[in-house]
């Protein structure tokens, strides 16, 4: 992210100008320009763009009173502008601070590209962006820079291929983030996992030649009102294990660490935003591989909570890793526990690839989170638990099975499985986010380019800030 963004009152000189426009404004344009636009069939529809070379103006159709449209317009217009050989551009800001924030987030996240592994890069020359507005919107700019760089950090880690982002490498990244942002960081190795009786994580990890790691990273302000514990699924690769994934389903499974990486992104943002609330991030980092010593369908495992689990499918490994992490998380006596995981394909089938699932026993908290997520610009929807679905993970040989007896409602039965590891006193304090849909983008949408999206970061940051503000 090398862009310089500045709000300015004056109508500064720049190489090109971006004008967001709707049908009404299109009608008000001077006749000569309207004529040229009409000649080219430009109707200022949402997402429609046209560049007038003589005037050096990029007209971009948007719904000007819709904040989601403006965020997306910021992202898409920047992507178009980056293709030109220009150093600077100006764009009209808004009078509303939320709209300006959305525009900034759009620009900063739309600008992201993952190029670490490319030899032949197309150079972009764009450096300066001037947003014309009446105020300098310092707070919005500051927050947008922090949040966007944390989303982009999560994206970078998720995009890193699995041979380089191993569990140990992920732990090293966490240590570096902690060091750079003055956070506490503890890394647990196999011995630690054994001491903590985390047999579920150890079993999932066993067939991999890469050792698992337990990552704990904490932000502890002096005057903290509440403690929030975040738990992230950090599968640096999910081959499915002995219940092996078909080849087509295995690609993109480097993104199975999306929840864990979102936790790292949030931790970095929180370290910089400095709210008065303690935040601890926990990540269970491992691979799920095959081999002679792999854990098997039919194994019965003892979780850290003591609950016995019959493994029916080794590809349902995320819930096993999370179960041990959630157990540890509750020992920290949190006021809220939020887990983030690319947990089920069923969630993607149910909600589509743009929306994350929110689950948990506390209906009010679910609704609050849904609202915060929507305000942050992320799509999330509540998936309701019910007592009939609860029965589907019963096991004949152990306390519960790691998969449901039917394939229907798979996102919810996975959520219910996690819920079994939440003690009574924490049931109302817990939220599970299934980010399997939006975590990895196979076709560019909204402010997301191809690859990791950093799903979850914006919503959870907003939630932490809301708790800090006492709401």
Q: Between residues 73 and 326, which has the closer beta carbon with respect to ligand BES?
A: 326
Active site residue 79: no
Stretch 295-354 residues interacting with Zn ion (CB under 5 A)? 315, 317-318
Q: Which of 213, 210, 216 is nearest to 201 (CA)?
A: 213
Choosing among ligand BES, Zn ion, none, which partner's interface includes residue 462 (Cβ < 5 to 8 Å by kind)? none
Which one is catalytic: 186, 225, 226, 245?
245
* Consecutive H or E run containing 170: helix 167-181
Q: Which of residues 244-283 bind Zn ion (CB under 5 A)?
A: 256
- Asked whether the beta carbons of 148 and 1 are under 8 A apart, the reply is yes
C-beta separation of 360 from 380 below 8 A: no
Inter-CA distances, 316 with 237, 268, 424, 427, Å: 13, 29, 24, 22
Among candidate residues 90, 143, 319, 458, the one labeled active-site is 319
Q: Restricting to residues 111-150, which ones interact with Zn ion according to CB under 5 A?
A: none
387 as an active site residue: the answer is: no
**Of the two residues 159 and 344, which places its CB atom closer to ligand BES in the complex?**
344
Q: Which helix (H) or strand (E) holds 370?
A: helix 363-376
Report the relative pairing of strands 336-341 and 227-238 from DSSP bridges: parallel
Residues forming contacts to ligand BES in the complex (CB under 6 A) are: 238, 256, 313, 315-318, 342-346, 348, 403, 410, 436
Of the candidates 385, 368, 376, 393, the residue with the CA atom closest to the CA atom of residue 438 = 376
If the CB atoms of residues 73 and 261 are measured against ligand BES, the closer one turns out to be 261
Strand positions, DSSP E, 289-364: 300-302, 308-310, 336-341, 356-359
User: 149 touches which of ligand BES, Zn ion, none (CB within 5 to 8 A by kind)?
Assistant: none
**What does 344 bind: Zn ion, ligand BES, none (CB cut-off 5 to 8 Å by kind)?**
ligand BES
Q: How far is the CB of 8 from Zn ion (least distance, A)?
A: 47
Q: How far is the CB of 213 from ligand BES (least distance, A)?
A: 18
One residue of 210, 238, 287, 378 binding Zn ion per CB under 5 A? 238
337 or 343: whose CB is closer to ligand BES? 343
What is the DSSP secondary-structure string of 89-134? Answer: EEEE--SSHHHHHHHHHHHHHHT----TT-SSPPP----EEEEE-S
Minimum separation from the CB atom of position 408 to ligand BES (A): 11
Distance in Å, CB of 345 to ligand BES, minimum: 3
Sequence-distant contacts of 175-180: CB under 8 A, at least 24 apart: 177/153, 177/217, 177/264, 177/267, 177/268, 178/217, 178/267
Residue showing tokens 């902690």: 178
Residue 181: exposed, middle, or buried by beta-carbon count in 10 A (0-12, 13-18, 19+)? Answer: middle
188 versus 410: smaller Cβ distance to ligand BES: 410
Residue 313 interface partner, choices ligand BES, Zn ion, none, CB cut-off 5-8 Å depending on type:
ligand BES
In the complex, which residues of this chain contact Zn ion (CB under 5 A)?
A: 235, 238, 256, 315, 317-318
Residues identified as active-site: 245, 319
């Amino acid at each position: 992210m090398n862009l310089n963004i500045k709000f300015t009152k004056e109508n500064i000189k720049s190489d090109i100008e971006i004008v967001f426009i709707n049908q009404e404004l299109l009608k008000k344009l001077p006749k000569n320009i309207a004529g040229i636009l009409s000649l080219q069939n430009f109707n200022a529809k949402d997402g429609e763009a046209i560049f007038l070379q003589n005037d050096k103006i990029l007209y971009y159709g948007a719904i000007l009173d819709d904040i989601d449209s403006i965020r997306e317009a910021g992202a898409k217009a920047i992507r178009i502008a980056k293709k030109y050989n220009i150093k600077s551009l100006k764009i009209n800001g808004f009078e509303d601070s939320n709209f300006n924030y959305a525009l900034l987030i759009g620009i900063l996240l739309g600008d992201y590209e993952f190029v670490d592994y490319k030899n032949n890069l197309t150079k972009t020359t764009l450096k300066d962006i001037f947003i014309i507005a009446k105020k300098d919107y310092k707070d919005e700019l500051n927050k947008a820079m922090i949040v966007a760089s944390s989303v982009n950090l999560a994206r970078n880690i998720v995009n890193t291929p699995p041979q380089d982002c191993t569990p140990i490498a992920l732990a090293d990244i966490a240590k570096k983030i902690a060091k750079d942002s003055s956070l506490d960081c503890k890394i647990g190795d196999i011995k630690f996992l054994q001491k903590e009786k985390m047999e579920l994580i150890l079993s999932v990890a066993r067939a991999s030649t890469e050792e698992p790691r337990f990552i704990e990273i904490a932000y502890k302000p002096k005057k903290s009102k509440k403690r929030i514990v975040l738990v992230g699924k950090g599968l640096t690769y999910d081959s499915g294990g002995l219940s092996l994934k078909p080849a087509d389903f295995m690609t993109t499974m480097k993104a199975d660490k999306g929840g864990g990486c979102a936790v790292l992104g949030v931790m970095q943002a929180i370290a910089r935003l400095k709210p008065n609330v303690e935040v601890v991030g926990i990540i269970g980092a491992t691979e799920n591989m095959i081999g002679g010593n792999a854990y098997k369908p039919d194994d019965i495992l003892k979780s850290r909570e003591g609950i016995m689990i019959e493994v029916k499918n080794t590809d349902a490994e995320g819930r096993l890793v999370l179960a041990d992490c959630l157990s540890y998380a509750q020992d920290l006596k949190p006021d809220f526990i939020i887990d983030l995981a690319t947990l089920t394909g069923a969630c993607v089938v149910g909600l589509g690839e743009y929306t994350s699932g929110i689950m948990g026993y506390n209906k009010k908290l679910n609704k609050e989170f849904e609202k915060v997520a929507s305000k942050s610009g992320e799509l999330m929807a509540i998936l309701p638990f019910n007592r009939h679905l609860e029965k589907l993970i019963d096991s004949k040989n152990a306390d519960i099975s790691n998969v449901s007896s039917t394939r229907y409602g798979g996102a919810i039965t996975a959520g219910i499985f996690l819920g079994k590891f939440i003690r009574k006193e924490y049931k109302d304090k817990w939220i599970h986010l299934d980010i399997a849909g939006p975590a990895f983008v196979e076709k560019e949408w909204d402010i997301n380019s191809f690859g990791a999206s950093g799903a979850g970061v914006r919503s959870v940051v907003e939630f932490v800030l809301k708790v800090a503000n006492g709401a």
